[in-house]
Structure 1
């Protein structure tokens, strides 16, 4: 069988960007850095709020959490955007898990929902 080669025309900006293998050590370090930063930055405020109000990790008083989350249009916009992004991420995780053969994807859903 003869293979056909598909050529994709790149924009001038794309031609200037380096092509980095997503499995390279550099990219692994970048992803790890983002993961650590994404965990630490919001959780600093979570811990401060937990200590100040007693609403531990925003779970012990869900009514207070929801009322403060949707207190004005700005925070409502950010909250709804984040909720939609989380839904898209969960759908993507499920699809990719099936595609590459990862079983019990629900474990990753739980981790994502618990730790963001």
Structure 2
């Protein structure tokens, strides 16, 4: 699951544009964190915003960043983390309903328009 929704090194602005153009309420994707090398961002569309949650290694497991004093729930793999939050989102996280798969979106360059590919 993780690899199909992983868009790599794209900006916050491009992420928001992708989810606005091709997503719907509950659509989500992952990308590299712009502020923390080795971390990822889980981005979820909940109109009128795109909510972003940082995912990083925490004591040997992958976890969504939590507020100070709150123990994060760790997962062995990124797939396990995504599957868990798809099954039952955290109280503050919008439901992960519709994965935005990278293979369905074509980007031919930074200045070109994005295109949705029907399969």
Same fold, TM-score > 0.5, yes or no: no
Q: Which structure has the bigger radius of gyration?
A: 1
TM-score (norm 1): 0.26
User: Relative contact order (alpha carbons < 8 A, sep ≥ 6): 1 or 2 greater?
Assistant: 2
TM-score (norm 2): 0.26
| Structure with the bigger percentage of strand | 2
| Structure with the bigger percentage of helix | 1
